[in-house]
Amino acid sequence: MSVPEQPENRVVATDVRKSFGPLEVLKGVSFTVPRGTATAVIGPSGSGKTTLLRTLNALDVADSGVIKVGDTEIDFGKPVAKDQLKRYRAQSGFVFQSHNLFPHKTVLQNVTEGPIVAQKRPRAEAEADAVELLDQVGLKDKRDRYPFELSGGQQQRVGIARALALKPKVVLFDEPTSALDPELVGEVLGVIRDLAVQGWTLVVVTHEIQFARQVSEQVLFLDQGVVLEQGSPAEVIGDPKEERTRQFLQRILNPL
């Protein structure tokens, strides 16, 4: 499937804040993901990476701040209508850590569920797109299999195809390899790398630092709910300005 060509395929977040009870998780996060680029979000556990990604899709609704995803902008400091939130959520596709496939549906049915049920697209059209996407992620021959018959890496690739089937303007990945055995990581990262080359707009929360260095145009280092450092991979990973960033990378890249 070709990349949606709308010029507004980007993300702009301004002063985004999110708390869970007394715990302030995001403390005024701002950044822009330009159209057709990949942004990697890195940082220690508990830094707010997943919460940040979930606010971009409103799986977790921000307490305040303005976020524009695709062609829909919401000021979360004001009341948000349900139809506006629905339109906002439709701008992005979300790839979860743990696949979240329907176990009782085939691979093809998993990929077509959203387009047919949520977007009311004709079944024949949705199935044709799904087959194309499954071919793109190397799973066309698995279309009639069920999730339990697939490896973890194959399930995650189905999850990626499912997100793309919604024709989103932005694709969000939440630690897409964290639940995989080490030997399966490469096949999933390869698919994401191909999407980046094709010009999809991507935001990838990842602990794969070398992957972030190779694939992304921008890296955000998140620590304690703030973007402590952002820039190109050469800047943030290759020559970080902040001591906290250097400490984190040292532990990740040289664990012994």
pLDDT digits (tens, 9 = 90+) for 181-233: 888 888 889 999 999 999 999 999 999 998 999 889 999 999 999 999 999 99
| Residue 252 banded pLDDT, cuts 50, 70, 90 | confident
Token pair 């697209």: residue: 121
Cβ neighbors of 41 (< 8 A, separation 6 or more) are 49, 52, 53, 203, 204, 205, 206, 219, 220, 222
| pLDDT over 90 (residue 75) | yes
pLDDT tens track for 89-131: 999 999 998 878 999 999 999 999 999 998 999 999 999 999 9
SS3 content of the chain, % helix, strand, coil (to 5): 40, 25, 35
pLDDT tens track for 4-37: 555 567 899 999 999 999 999 999 999 999 999 9
Rounded Cα distance, 249 and 244, in Å: 9
CATH topology for 1-91+170-256 is Rossmann fold (3.40.50)
For the chain, give every domain's residue range.
Answer: 1-91+170-256, 103-167
